[in-house]
Amino acid sequence: MPSSDYRKLAQFNEIEGNSDKKDPRPTKYYNLPVEHCDLPASRSRDPTINNKSKLAVVRSFCPHTEPQWERFYEVTLSEAKAMCKQHPQTSWGSTPGGKRSSMRARVNAQLAKLDKSSPVVGKALFSWRMRNVYNSLLRKTLHCTWPEYVNEEDARAYAGHTVPEWYLFHKLTHEEGMRLRALQPKWKFKQITSAERARMHTRINEQLKEHGAPEANKFTFTRRMNQVHTYQSRSTYTGEMKPLSFYLRNSTEELLREMPDDGTEEEILRDAIQKSRVSKKTKKAKKKKKTTTTPVKDEKNKSHLP
């Protein structure tokens, strides 16, 4: 943080009656006044935020409320999609500075229209968000369906899948992890031979096919198995997964929430995957109906009207 900012903070403390403090530097960045609520130019210089996640750093530097954050994410996503349509292979780093500034101006204008009390988005915060959006769009991992209780990273690793399909994939990889743990308690996925990894991958994809769920690619499978190893190496790991009924009850889709709990888990899983497919098709059909436009009558035919 520049020394000028610390001087401003010292003046702020004097106004607030905190001039008796020896060191004006705050222990956490969200103690700063509103005019300093933007991401710093270099986070690595300050030791108080080195161990924080990027999202925590940004949130501590920005006084946005939760609805304002949601609007900010939606507006930036639409801006990034529009840019990616024009230039599919572009990245945020290769985007010219003039375009970046015009995009930020458009985002701030839209946010001000939606909510007049919304704070102006700074350059660093905007760049951080757009870089994340561009990376997600280029990897084609942004469009995915996941409920509120699922970690965003977990969902992105298996993008485009419904809740039951996601559960099946996690269940199968969990079972593979338990099998590896029984053979070797301190196993690591990178230490397994490539042939054995390929066999595990094909086994899981075959089981996904049997249930009618989409296959997982190599990157998704590797990432998930590394995640299983991380969970199993924790001292709090119990070796049990929550039942599917728990996830269905908390699902964002009404069709899945109304599913009965009776029957074996295998039957419930198959029914849930089928129902989730039906809900996917109905959503697509509704979207198509909205996009269809009625033909406009010719102006010449209106001459007989009074």
pLDDT for 162-187, tens place per residue? Answer: 667 777 888 888 889 888 888 888 88
Chain segment 211-247, per-residue pLDDT in tens: 888 788 787 788 788 888 888 887 777 777 766 666 6
Structural domain count, the chain: 3
Task: Please tell me whether residues 34 and 91 are part of one structural domain.
Answer: no
Distance CA 130, CA 103 (A): 10
CA-atom Rg of the chain in angstroms: 26
Tell me which residue range forms the domain holding 126: 66-139
Give the model confidence (pLDDT) of 24-46 as tens digits.
Answer: 433 333 333 333 333 444 443 44
Among 75, 104, 139, the domain-final residue is 139
Q: Is 191 helix (H, G, I), strand (E, B) or coil?
A: helix
Is there a domain that residue 297 lies in? no
119 and 190 belong to one structural domain: no
- Tell whether the model's pLDDT for residue 146 goes beyond 70: no
Domain finish residue from 25, 40, 61: 61
Tokens of 194: 């490539």
pLDDT value at residue 203:
93
Considering the domain architecture, whether residues 159 and 272 belong to the same structural domain is answered as: yes
Residues 165 and 234 in one domain: yes
Residue 288 lies in a domain: no
Greater model confidence, 303 or 188: 188
* Cα–Cα distance measured from residue 68 to residue 75, given in angstroms and rounded to the nearest whole number: 11
Q: What is the pLDDT of residue 244?
A: 67
Does 275 or 98 have the greater pLDDT score?
98
Give CA–CA dist 12/27, Å, rounded.
15
**Residues 212, 214, 216: CA angle, nearest 5 degrees:** 135
pLDDT at 199: 92
Q: Is 292 among the domain residues? A: no
pLDDT at residue 152 is higher than 60: no
| 272 and 176 assigned to the same domain | yes
Rounded Cα distance between 227 and 221, Å, is 10
Confidence band, pLDDT 50/70/90 cuts, at residue 188:
confident
What average pLDDT does range 116-141 have in this prediction?
Answer: 75
Q: In sequence order, what DSSP letters do the residues of 114-130 get, joined into one string? A: H-TTPPPPPHHHHHHHH
CA distances from 243 to 108, 145, 147, 171, 208 (A): 44, 19, 15, 10, 18
What letters, b where the CB count within 10 A reaches 16 and e where it falls short, cover 18-27?
eeeeeebebe
The domain boundary, picked from 109, 139, 169, lies at 139
Q: Is the pLDDT of residue 53 over 90?
A: no
Core vs surface per residue 273-294: b (16+ CB within 10 A) or e: bebbeeeeeeeeeeeeeeeeee
Q: 130-139, 205-214, 278-287 — which is least confidently predicted?
A: 278-287
Which pLDDT score is estimated for 145? 39
Give the mean model confidence (pLDDT) for residues 266-274: 64
CA-CA-CA-CA torsion sign (55, 61, 65, 67): negative
Q: Which two tokens stand for residue 11?
A: 């003046």
Query: DSSP assignment, residue 131?
Result: H
The H-or-E segment that residue 132 falls in is helix 123-139
Structure tokens at 18: 């905190």
Q: In terms of domains, do 101 and 185 share one?
A: no
Higher confidence at residue 57 or residue 268?
268
Task: Return the higher-pLDDT residue of 275 and 166.
Answer: 166
Residue 201, pLDDT score: 92
Same-domain pairing of 105 and 175: no
Q: How confident is the model at residue 304 (pLDDT cuts 50, 70, 90)?
A: very low
Cα–Cα distance between 109 and 303 in angstroms, integer? Answer: 44
Question: pLDDT confidence of 273, banded at 50, 70, 90?
Answer: low
Mapped onto helix, strand or coil, the DSSP state of residue 287 is: helix
* pLDDT attached to residue 25: 39
Q: Is residue 282 part of a domain?
A: no
302: which residues sit within 8 A by CB, 6+ positions away?
A: none
The torsion angles phi and psi of 183, rounded to 5 degrees, stand at -75, -40
Q: Looking at the structure, do residues 133 and 182 belong to the same domain, yes or no?
A: no
Task: Check residue 174 and give its pLDDT.
Answer: 87
Q: Are residues 158 and 240 in the same domain?
A: yes
Q: 87 in a domain, yes or no?
A: yes
Residues 193, 225 within the same domain: yes
